[in-house]
A and B are shown apart, each in its own frame.
Chain A
């Protein structure tokens, strides 16, 4: 993706994702958010940015309930995202979708989903559609390690493997489905190893490292775009906050959290770029300032956007 071509732009979008998520938390504390149901992707920025950076304009992604980062990585308008979070008509879904359903097909996002795993068959169908139409687009289907335990994961990967569909399945393994560690839920620890059951390559990658994710995603996309069939990419990552607002994550140890935060995708990438001499010392501060201002704008936009009229509830149930 053009807007994610340079290391600096990848850092910028990771910083933007984190700042957006934190701003949402703040807006919630201020009573501005519609509802309490939102899932922060802080800690997982490198998977969204690294993987999406490797796509082309015109490709599709499938997002999920922890999907703000995917939208931002697609260069979505954060004003409209914020308005959606606020339940206003200016939002991407006119306030009807909210946090869990922010998506825009025009950006290539097939949808975010509140049902864990449900996007996997849908993305697989989109890949079937692409193969049917004979274009060289690909679908990148994001889901968590929890979704990889749903039956739909297996139904879909089997079908994609069978028909050699142009789809990259990206497991964002953040270690926990709400409170349940993947170690307590999966018979195999290495989820990418399941690829072999479905006749596709599988790979595990450090999901806290944006360049590692980008390289692995590039390899996966090349394989898929050539017509060699699907690919399963597992990105090992961590969500810094609880599953949702109500979860203080008492099931994790402080030591574990600390160990993961040491691998922070943003801090470490900032360090790496500085080391390489490609990031002037005041650049991060400048970027942060720009991001904060754009988020101020987004909140102002969302605040000024009106709530939908009640009659809107009857609209969009059926298409004409």
Chain B
């Protein structure tokens, strides 16, 4: 039985339920306790679980992630929070050189069961250092898992799986989705990490995407279905490491026309990886088009910000382009 709650509430529920289920789960992050989190995901948890399990951290990102690793090594299951993915740069060593590599470097003797929660993305005029989509950095690193939920249902199920995973998992939320509402069951459920989800079925065209762009793509697909009679299938990857190759192959084989949409900028982004993967998995594919954020630095001005990342209109153009129905090319200028 479901009810409608927000993305923020779904994440909060996942954390609460996991903390109730497993005494080893605790929270460490900046302003997560008294303040309830910069985006209020952890609101109320300090009151429920106390300062032992909900720890407001000093502004020490490297310590936050490193302490999570140390606590995980001695048997706990920390959920650490980095307020903005842009700040994760301050903890890069702990994420990339430590958390990701510990299990391997010890020959498999040590596990690091830890969740690194953070959020990314544009749409709030937060400017150059609070709006980036840096998921490609982490997806590049063997040893990490990287998930980016797009809906309340996925957010809850994926975060719960992340807590139960024996590896470091980055859960990258989108700051533009916290107020999004969606149906979430009352019953316990989890979503396997690495499983894509078809958010809108279709036979003519495949759209590979994740996070907030899922919603733009679904809207574009609805509109183009009405205006052009094209049935676009929107595949929400949900996880970019591991990535669901089976789902990519299946949809690309079916439609032979693939549009890739990411908010993250184009060069060396996840869109480039997906572009290559489609050709590797389905060499007979007819056309693949990629639509990513422009290779620019995000600005505060809403006009500039909006222009920098894909819009519903651009996605529709991308769909037309992929189907060979327009001469007009996507522009990155």
Contacts and interface: CB of A to CB of B under 8 A. Distances in A.
Interface of A: 60, 91-97, 101, 103-106, 110-111, 113-115, 118, 120-130, 132-133, 151-152, 155-156, 158-159, 162, 315-320
A121 B105 contact: no
Contacts, number: 144
A124 B70 contact: yes
B103 A317 contact: yes
B60 interface: yes
A124 B106 contact: no
A95 to B, nearest CB: 8
Among all A-B residue pairs, the 9 with the closest Cβ atoms: A121-B66, A125-B70, A125-B67, A155-B60, A94-B107, A93-B107, A155-B63, A316-B108, A126-B70
A265 B186 CA distance: 66
B109 interface: yes
Contacts of A320: 166
B97 interface: yes
Given A155-B58, A158-B58, A96 B107 contact: yes
A96 B109 contact: no
A174 to B, nearest CB: 22
Contacts of B104: 96, 316-317
A243 to B, nearest CB: 19
A121 B110 contact: no
A133 B70 contact: no
Contacts of A317: 103-104, 142-143
Interface string B255-298: 00000000000000000000000000000000000000000000
A123 B63 contact: no
Contact of B71 (A104, A115, A132, A151): A132
A104 B109 contact: yes
What's the interface size class on B, roughly? 35 or more
A159 B63 contact: yes
A124 B167 contact: no
Interface of B: 26, 28, 52, 57-58, 60, 62-63, 65-76, 78, 93-94, 97-98, 102-113, 142-143, 145, 166-167
Q: Which of B78, B97, B98 has the most CB of A within 10 A?
A: B98
B66 A111 contact: no
A128 B67 contact: yes
Given A96-B105, A97-B107, A132-B26, A121 B71 contact: no
B111 A115 contact: no
Given A93-B109, A94-B107, A130-B74, A115 B97 contact: yes
A43 B294 CA distance: 56
Contacts of A316: 103-104, 107-108
